[in-house]
Amino acid sequence: MYCPKCFNNSLHIAPSGVAILMIDGKKMDSSRLIFHMGDSEKEELIEQIKTKLESYMQWYSSFQNKKPIENIDILTSDFKCENSCLFTAELKFSILNIIIPQQEVIEMAKLIAKKHHLIVNVKTHE
């Protein structure tokens, strides 16, 4: 990926880290996920995402004025630049389409949302 500091294609995700599930710019206190880059850990990450989505949808379904969900992202600051660029802790990058396909997360969200009578209207980005 391109580094936002040096503008080189030198940004890489760390082998493991912590990510946050964000839905329409909101996160719950319990929205943290731990990820590892190995293929064997992908199933564990998928289960974590399902659990976090289920928790969020259950919470959100109790709201009075529910809007369709339009944005789902999983963000982390656990990226490193080959050129040793320094980033603030607030700078976060998406792990969607890097560790897990965005479409897979959207499909999970749609299935869970249906159970809670919510609408997911997320557009994919590459």
Domain contains 61: yes
Domain contains 103: yes
CA 53 – CA 72 distance, rounded (Å):
10
pLDDT at 111 (0 to 100): 95
Domain contains 27: yes
Domain contains 122: no
% of the chain at pLDDT higher than 90: 57
Query: Can you say whether residue 96 is alpha, beta or left, with left for phi > 0 and alpha for psi between -120 and 50 degrees?
Result: beta
Residue 37's domain comprises 11-115
pLDDT at 125 (0 to 100): 63
What is the average pLDDT across 10-32? Answer: 89
Answer whether residue 96 shows pLDDT above 70: yes
Distances (CA, A) of 88 to 1, 32, 73, 75: 18, 19, 19, 14
Domain contains 84: yes
Domain contains 2: no
pLDDT at 30 (0 to 100): 84
Answer whether residue 26 shows pLDDT above 90: no
CA 112 – CA 115 distance, rounded (Å):
5
pLDDT at 28 (0 to 100): 83
Confidence of residue 36 (pLDDT cuts 50, 70, 90): confident
In the chain, how many domains are there? 1
Contact 78/18 with Cβ under 8 angstroms? yes
Q: Over the range 55-83, which residues count as b (16 or more CB within 10 Å of their CB) and which as e?
A: ebbeebeeeeeeeebeebbbbbbbbebee
Contact 58/112 with Cβ under 8 angstroms? no
pLDDT tens digit string along 44-85? 888 999 999 999 999 889 888 889 999 999 999 999 999 999
Domain contains 54: yes
